[in-house]
């Protein structure tokens, strides 16, 4: 079984989930911060419809390249879904992760991506979820972080939202 996605060369979702469970266990045992960053590509479906699937694949490939270029050696980036990416940031507080996420979001938004048929620019809607003691499994942290991504989309896209226990906040 391959652990990397064929298009983006990032880790696949299943491998990522196993690693996230491992990192949650370590964070609990050794009391260090752990933050999950997830983001969706805004408007990818429209690019696919207007310019073709190969153009959309080119966008995903370029975003993955930017992501790989932005992470530390200890971070764990993955393609989480069709147009969804995720990064495990161990030993990273939500405040530190917010700085990373904003730099990444801004870099993606400023990048002109040359596809086979057109030059396009895209944005991403980003969510952050910080590990807390009540989280025992990866899916709990993923669920919280995805709620933050959804809130970023609801508030107009191209933004970063941090999930908080009481409620997501932008």
Residue 42 has pLDDT above 70, yes or no: yes
pLDDT of residue 166: 61
Q: Please, which pLDDT band fits residue 160 given cuts at 50, 70 and 90?
A: very high
pTM comes to 0.94
**For residue range 110-123, what is the model confidence (pLDDT) as tens digits?**
999 998 888 999 99
Residue 30 has pLDDT above 70, yes or no: yes
List, in order, residues 6 or more apart from 86 with CB less than 8 Å away: 16, 36, 37, 38, 39, 77, 78, 80, 142, 145
In angstroms, what CA-CA distances link 8 with 15, 81, 89, 106?
15, 11, 19, 20
Q: For 8-17, what is the mean pLDDT? A: 98
Residue 76 has pLDDT above 80, yes or no: yes
Residue 48 has pLDDT above 60, yes or no: yes
Question: What residue ranges define each of the domains in the chain, with the CATH number in brackets?
Answer: 13-162 (3.30.70.270)
Q: Please, which pLDDT band fits residue 12 given cuts at 50, 70 and 90?
A: very high
Of the residues 17, 23, 83, 130, which is catalytic? 83
166 included as an active-site residue: no
């Amino acid at each position: 079984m391959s652990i990397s996605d064929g298009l983006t060369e990032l880790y696949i979702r299943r491998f990522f989930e196993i690693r996230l469970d491992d990192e949650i266990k370590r964070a609990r045992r050794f009391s260090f911060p752990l933050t999950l960053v997830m983001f969706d590509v805004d408007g990818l479906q429209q690019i696919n419809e207007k310019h073709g699937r190969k153009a959309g694949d080119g966008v995903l490939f370029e975003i993955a390249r930017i992501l790989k270029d932005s992470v530390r050696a200890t971070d764990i980036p993955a393609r989480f879904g069709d147009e969804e990416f995720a990064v495990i940031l161990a030993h990273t507080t939500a405040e530190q992760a917010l700085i990373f996420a904003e730099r990444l979001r801004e870099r993606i938004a400023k990048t002109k991506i040359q596809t086979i048929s057109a030059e396009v620019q895209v944005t991403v809607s980003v969510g952050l979820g910080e590990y807390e003691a009540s989280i025992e499994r990866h899916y709990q942290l993923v669920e919280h972080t995805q709620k933050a991504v959804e809130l970023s989309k609801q508030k107009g896209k191209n933004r970063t939202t941090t999930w908080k226990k009481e409620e997501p906040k932008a």
